[in-house]
């Protein structure tokens, strides 16, 4: 390694900063300092023996994920106004209510049972309550059962595990949540993307895909789809269900956002409309309460849930019981519903601020969706702008978003971007979109200039 003085000069940083960085590297065993000789890279432990060639071994597994989570431009936000994460606002967490729910659980006489090994089906009192609720809401019939999972993500994972064989086709929305894309691709599935318009996925295309592609299953987001915010209208839900039923293709209804409707009439879930036992519905506590507690569930036909339970046991035995018990108490006590009402009020304000600021600050040729809930608005910038290319400039101006291409299945939309608004206060939303508007205008200006005929050289 260069001497600290030398590197400090090279990078224009204070020498103590460099020394501190070297200290961290040394404490992690990555470099070793030798008095009078300087610092040396210790070399990677995995290459010191004959041993295992991990690169060769891992190269074949085809599990590489891609997406915004790891990418440098989406790293820690700093002073940024970040529209990057589709997650609830930390500031709205009702900490005292959460503490009260924990206290109630800790005071219970059966606390030891919560700490003991549990069931792959879930913590029974929670499972029972969720199933009763699902029955009351006509989301579960006599042929259905329910399993608790680590959020929606694990429910989708378990469905993939029990249904997919490598090479199988799966119908998904296009664009779609990167976590689903990576999950299915990692399992060796071939994704068949169905375009999502302002009214959800295109059912004509779906019909063609069902007959041509013989997919193993369909994953559809009924409400406030991630990334577009689109909701599938009632007629489209019925049509989708009819098509899936006659093709004998199961429907996985991903409904992480359904409880976050800020206005408009709630629609019946596809699961509710389905009396043929073809649908499994996936929901979670994460978007409406605390995503750091990983609790979701799947409700669907018993033969499927039985198999999900086996897959769950193989995956991780069962979902954490402390969090299941706390969320059950949070729900039974009425605190969840009270919190949901606060989240709905805040969400309505934030959505309105986003749509209003889009109107005010984005150029006339830009288009964006008009969600009635959820956490995401999908913006299409006018041609020839590329949202990915604009991002570095946007970050320099203090605003970040996820370019649309991260969500593309087979129809890249270079001009698209996702605005996740739920974690930002209305003021931040306005400031962020004002900055974005300036950058977009500047980008358009640049593009016009670059298309000007070159002046004569004189």
| Positions 275 through 304 that interact with a second copy (CB under 8 A) | 275-278, 286, 290-294, 301-304
| Among 65, 77, 365, 442, interactor with a second copy by CB under 8 A | 65
Residue with tokens 């005071």: 107
Question: What's the closest the beta carbon of residue 77 comes to a second copy, in angstroms?
Answer: 13
Taking the C-alpha atoms of residue 85 and residue 71, their distance in angstroms, rounded to an integer, is 13
Q: Is residue 78 close enough to count as binding a second copy by CB under 8 A? A: no
| Among 223, 226, 319, 420, interactor with a second copy by CB under 8 A | 319
SS3 state of residue 210 = helix
| Among 4, 149, 203, 256, interactor with a second copy by CB under 8 A | 149
Task: Return the number of the residue (234 or 314) whose C-beta is nearest a second copy.
Answer: 314
Residue with tokens 């689903």: 180
Region from 62-70, 260-268, 408-416, 428-436 binding a second copy, contact rule CB under 8 A: 62-70
Question: What's the closest the beta carbon of residue 46 comes to a second copy, in angstroms?
Answer: 3
Task: Return the number of the residue (72 or 112) whose C-beta is nearest a second copy.
Answer: 112
Question: What's the closest the beta carbon of residue 407 comes to a second copy, in angstroms?
Answer: 16
Region from 38-46, 371-379, 383-391, 403-411 binding a second copy, contact rule CB under 8 A: 38-46
Taking the C-alpha atoms of residue 385 and residue 443, their distance in angstroms, rounded to an integer, is 7
Question: What's the closest the beta carbon of residue 15 comes to a second copy, in angstroms?
Answer: 25
Residue 351 and residue 423 in contact, taking contact as beta carbons nearer than 8 Å: no
| Among 14, 17, 52, 410, interactor with a second copy by CB under 8 A | 52
Task: Return the number of the residue (52 or 410) whose C-beta is nearest a second copy.
Answer: 52
Q: Is residue 98 close enough to count as binding a second copy by CB under 8 A? A: yes
Q: Element (H or E) spanning 348, and its range?
A: helix 335-361
Of 176, 82, 77, nearest in space to 421 by CA: 82
CA distances from 185 to 135, 314, 389, 404 (A): 34, 21, 26, 18
Taking the C-alpha atoms of residue 238 and residue 249, their distance in angstroms, rounded to an integer, is 14
Beta-carbon count within 10 A of 326 CB: 24
Task: Return the number of the residue (105 or 379) whose C-beta is nearest a second copy.
Answer: 105
Q: Is the peptide bond before 384 cis (omega within 30 degrees of 0)?
A: yes
Q: Is residue 76 close enough to count as binding a second copy by CB under 8 A? A: no
Question: What's the closest the beta carbon of residue 336 comes to a second copy, in angstroms?
Answer: 13
Site residues (CB under 8 A) for a second copy, limited to 176-215: 179, 182-183, 186
| Among 1, 39, 75, 87, interactor with a second copy by CB under 8 A | 87
The gap between the terminal CA atoms of the chain, to the nearest Å, is 51
Residue 239 and residue 270 in contact, taking contact as beta carbons nearer than 8 Å: no
3-state helix, strand, coil in the chain (%, to 5): 45, 15, 40
Q: Is residue 364 close enough to count as binding a second copy by CB under 8 A? A: no
Residue 156 and residue 137 in contact, taking contact as beta carbons nearer than 8 Å: no
Site residues (CB under 8 A) for a second copy, limited to 250-269: 250
| Among 37, 47, 265, 364, interactor with a second copy by CB under 8 A | 47
Question: What's the closest the beta carbon of residue 198 comes to a second copy, in angstroms?
Answer: 28
């Amino acid at each position: 390694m260069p001497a600290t003085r030398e590197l400090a000069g090279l990078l224009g940083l204070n020498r103590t900063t460099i020394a501190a960085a070297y200290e961290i590297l040394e404490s992690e065993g990555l470099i070793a300092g030798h008095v009078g000789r300087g610092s040396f890279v210790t070399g990677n432990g995995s290459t010191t023996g004959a041993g295992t060639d991990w690169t060769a071994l891992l190269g074949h597994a085809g599990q590489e994920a891609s997406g915004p989570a790891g990418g440098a431009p989406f790293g820690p936000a700093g002073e940024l106004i970040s529209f990057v994460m589709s997650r609830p606002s930390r500031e709205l967490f009702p900490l005292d209510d959460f503490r009260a729910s924990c206290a109630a659980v800790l005071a219970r006489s059966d606390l030891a049972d919560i700490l003991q090994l549990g069931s792959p089906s879930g913590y029974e009192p929670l499972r029972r309550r969720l199933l009763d609720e699902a029955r009351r809401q006509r989301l579960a019939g006599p042929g259905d059962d329910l399993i608790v999972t680590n959020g929606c993500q694990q429910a989708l994972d378990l469905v993939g595990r029990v249904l997919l064989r490598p090479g199988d086709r799966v119908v998904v929305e296009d664009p779609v949540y990167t976590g689903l894309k990576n999950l299915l691709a990692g399992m060796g599935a071939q994704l068949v993307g169905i375009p999502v318009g302002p009214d959800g996925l295109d059912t004509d295309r779906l019909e063609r895909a069902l007959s041509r592609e013989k997919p193993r299953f369909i994953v559809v987001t009924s409400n406030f789809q991630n990334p577009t915010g689109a909701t599938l209208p009632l007629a489209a839900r019925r049509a989708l269900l009819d098509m899936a039923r006659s093709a004998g293709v199961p429907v996985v209804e991903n409904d992480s956002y359904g409880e976050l409707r800020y206005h408009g009439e709630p629609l019946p879930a596809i699961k509710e409309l389905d009396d043929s036992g073809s649908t499994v519905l996936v929901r979670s506590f994460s978007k409406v309460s605390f995503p750091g507690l990983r609790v979701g569930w799947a409700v669907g036909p018993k033969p499927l849930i039985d198999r999900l339970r086996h897959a769950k046991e193989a995956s991780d035995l069962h979902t954490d019981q402390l969090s299941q018990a706390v969320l059950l108490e949070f729900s039974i006590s009425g605190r969840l519903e009270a919190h949901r009402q606060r989240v709905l009020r805040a969400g309505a304000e934030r959505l309105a601020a986003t749509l209003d600021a889009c109107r005010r600050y984005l150029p006339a040729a830009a288009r964006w969706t008009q969600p009635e809930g959820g956490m995401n608005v999908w913006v299409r910038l006018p041609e020839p702008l590329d949202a990915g290319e604009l991002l570095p400039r946007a970050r320099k101006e203090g605003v970040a978003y996820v370019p649309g291409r991260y969500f593309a299945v087979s129809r890249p939309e270079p001009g698209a971007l996702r605005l996740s608004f739920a974690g930002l206060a209305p003021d931040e939303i306005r400031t962020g979109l004002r900055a974005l508007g300036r950058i977009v205008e500047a980008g358009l200006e640049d593009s016009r200039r670059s298309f000007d005929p070159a002046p004569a050289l004189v």
